[in-house]
Amino acid sequence: MKKLLKYFKGYTLQCILGPLFKLLEASFELLIPLVVASIIDVGIKNGDKPYIIKMCIIMAALGLIGLICSVTAQYFAARAAVGFTKKLRHALFDKIQSFSYAKLDKLGTATVITRMTSDMNQVQTGVNLTLRLLLRSPFVVLGAMVMAFTIDVKSALIFAAAIPVLSIIVFGIMLISIPLYKKVQSRLDEVTQTTRENLTGARVIRAFALEDREKAAFENKNDGLTAVQRFVGRVSALMNPMTYAIINAATVWLIYTGALRVNSGVLSSGEVVALYNYMSQILIELIKFASLIINITKSVACARRIGDILEISGSEHTGSMPMKKGGDIEFKNVSLRYDEAGDNTLTNISFKVKSGQTVGIIGGTGSGKSSLTNLIPAFYRASSGEILINGQNINDIDTDSLRKNVAVVPQRAVLFSGTIRDNMRWGNAKATDEEIYKALETAQATDIIKSKENGLDSIIEQGGRNLSGGQRQRLTIARALTKNADILILDDSSSALDFATDAKLRTALKNIDNKPTVFIVSQRTSSIKHADIIIVLDDGYAVGIGTHSQLLESCDVYREIYDSQYKKESSNA
């Protein structure tokens, strides 16, 4: 929590002026009951209308000055709260961006989204309210008690007795509520995750007619969140009735005591009214303070959750050496085990690739194909063994330098909202239209541009939902080619393409000007059989490495995959 205070840097003045103007407003408010007492004891008692008018003008002036102070305080508090949250949001986003794939997998997308949105908004509200009311409410409560002592010590003892009891109630409920609100946010994470999964997989859910099951699952998560919110709501709800009961009891006691002292001539009627007004001010401020405490409690819980992310160690490892030009890659007994996994995903993988060669990777589902390619751009780090790129250990290479020289087309074709040109320039911000068209031609995607009225300026909707699966895949391949990287990874990125288009794509890849080292992950032997090297994976082991003809003779797994796809060709071989 204390580490978050540094994000107030640059807003120190606003953090001082906001509460200061609120205290000025409170000071003018504390003078109002004395003015009212003077009107009663002097103006009304003596029938002095000019005096009454004069004091009413003074009271209106105090109210107007208080309003100006309040608006000014709100301005400074809002600037500080928004500025602080802006810096904190940037810091959180930067921290998330620094996490490795492994760390993001462990945290979960729903948790990160909740912290960036709901938690951050709650913190902003809490900071705003804190700057405006945290000092004001106690100041008015204590100020009202002090003013009461200046009027009558005996009557003011009622204030001195009531305020500590009220403080115990307010702070006691706050201490109980803080951990409960943290639990509420955790349950909100679960609801967010369920919602996200249902929205992302809506088509799959409907295809399997599992809407009722998903509704029941969501209802279960939502009921859990509701139950915790109800419980913490009941605890927080105790604050208002308990404070009301104590304040009203104190008010009755004050009026009774005041009446006796007026009869005895110790107090005037105006002074009793002033004491009552001070008691009312205390009641109002304590109600405000109670609501403030609830909001601060929520904000503290949310701030701690944000702080937990910012304090996570193990940001993505990066070396200091720039990557040398070229695409020579060597794996030496490389193994990979994901966090909290029981077994290795990859075990003792060894192979060597020269710059400009094409490498095919094939194997059954879950054999470790994507895991292997994810090691090359250092999305994950090898658990053991050594990966050399152009003779450099991958752990010694600066991560940014490495990834600038590696172009990746993931299994899931991801496009961003904007124009086609904007998407093509993700890997190369300075790419010319000529370079983009050349990449589109290699990716067999020029027909997509020709079919669009605005060409490269055509709009792609979020996630590329206005494109077919094959169009999305070809555009993501073109985006990677625009990067002109030394290493190109195609992770099962042509699965939605027909065989003819796939064949044209493979032919075009061989004629790329910069001659990158190409890794092709595929389920089809037709997509990789012309590769210079084919790596066959089975349950995380490289059970075969060689050319297509070599593997047909020496690797049972590869032969089985090939036979399952080309039975006729296999029988004629």
The span from the CA of 530 to the CA of 512, in Å, is 16
> In the prediction, which pLDDT does 71 show?
93
Of the three residues 264, 281, 310, the one that is the final residue of a domain is 310
Q: How confident is the model at residue 570 (pLDDT cuts 50, 70, 90)?
A: very low
Asked if 387 and 298 sit in the same domain, the reply is no
Asked if 382 and 466 sit in the same domain, the reply is yes
Q: Does residue 268 lie within any of the structural domains?
A: yes
The helix (H) or strand (E) run that includes residue 318 is none
- Long-range own/partner contacts, residues 64-69 (CB < 8 A, 24 or more apart): 65/28, 66/24, 66/25, 66/28, 66/29, 67/25, 69/21, 69/22, 69/24, 69/25, 69/28
The answer to whether residue 506 scores a pLDDT higher than 90 is no
Q: How confident is the model at residue 567 (pLDDT cuts 50, 70, 90)?
A: low
Of the three residues 263, 282, 310, the one that is the final residue of a domain is 310
Q: Does residue 323 lie within any of the structural domains?
A: no
Asked if 306 and 334 sit in the same domain, the reply is no
Q: Does residue 320 lie within any of the structural domains?
A: no
84-106: per-residue pLDDT in tens? 999 999 999 988 888 878 788 77
- Taking the model in full, what pTM does it have? 0.69
What phi and psi, each to the nearest 5 degrees, are found at residue 414? -115, 120
Q: Domain span at residue 105?
A: 2-310
What phi and psi, each to the nearest 5 degrees, are found at residue 368? 105, 20
Q: Are 522 and 535 in contact (CB under 8 A)?
A: no
Q: Are 100 and 312 in contact (CB under 8 A)?
A: no
- Long-range own/partner contacts, residues 82-85 (CB < 8 A, 24 or more apart): 82/124, 83/10, 83/11, 83/14, 84/7, 84/8, 84/11, 84/124, 84/127, 85/120, 85/123, 85/124, 85/127
> In the prediction, which pLDDT does 429 show?
87
Asked if 304 and 344 sit in the same domain, the reply is no
128-167: per-residue pLDDT in tens? 999 988 888 888 888 888 888 888 887 778 877 887 887 7
Q: Does residue 567 lie within any of the structural domains?
A: yes
Asked if 203 and 169 sit in the same domain, the reply is yes
- Of the chain, the percentage scoring pLDDT greater than 70 comes to 98
Asked if 291 and 373 sit in the same domain, the reply is no
Asked if 354 and 246 sit in the same domain, the reply is no
446-487: per-residue pLDDT in tens? 888 888 888 888 888 887 888 888 888 889 999 999 988 999
The span from the CA of 394 to the CA of 392, in Å, is 6
Asked if 212 and 266 sit in the same domain, the reply is yes
256-269: per-residue pLDDT in tens? 887 887 777 778 88
Domain total of the chain: 2
The answer to whether residue 568 scores a pLDDT higher than 50 is no
Of the three residues 259, 277, 310, the one that is the final residue of a domain is 310
> In the prediction, which pLDDT does 573 show?
42
Asked if 304 and 339 sit in the same domain, the reply is no
Asked if 214 and 247 sit in the same domain, the reply is yes
What average pLDDT is seen over the chain?
A: 86
Asked if 263 and 162 sit in the same domain, the reply is yes
Asked if 359 and 287 sit in the same domain, the reply is no
